[in-house]
């Protein structure tokens, strides 16, 4: 199944959940694309210790997920 998740928020908790859901779907063998729009494009600058967005994004792309901005 092809899945596209669209994120357009600068809230780190929302982006953390988007990446977590994308990684979970990749584990279930789905084709997943995350499209970052607007303020979510700068996810690397809003990452916090509580919400490690860079780690989740790295895992997502290394697991053959497609990340578009």
Domain that holds residue 8: 2-68
The answer for residues whose C-beta is within 8 angstroms of residue 3's C-beta and 6 or more apart is: 25, 30, 31, 32, 33
Q: Where are the beta strands (DSSP E) in 1-69?
A: 2-7, 31-36, 66-68
pLDDT on residue 60: 96
Give the CA diameter of the chain: 33
Residues making up the chain, counted from first to last: 69
| Distance from C-alpha of 26 to C-alpha of 22, rounded to nearest angstrom | 6
- Model confidence, pTM: 0.92
Number of domains in the chain: 1
**Model confidence pLDDT, tens digit, residues 9-49:** 999 999 999 999 999 999 988 899 999 999 999 999 999 99
């Amino acid at each position: 199944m092809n899945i596209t998740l669209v994120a357009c928020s600068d809230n780190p908790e929302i982006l953390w959940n988007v990446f977590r859901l994308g990684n979970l779907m990749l584990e279930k063998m789905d084709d997943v694309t995350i499209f970052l729009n607007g303020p979510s494009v700068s996810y690397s600058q809003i990452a916090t210790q509580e919400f490690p967005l860079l780690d989740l994004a790295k895992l997502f792309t290394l697991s053959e997920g497609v990340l578009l901005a």
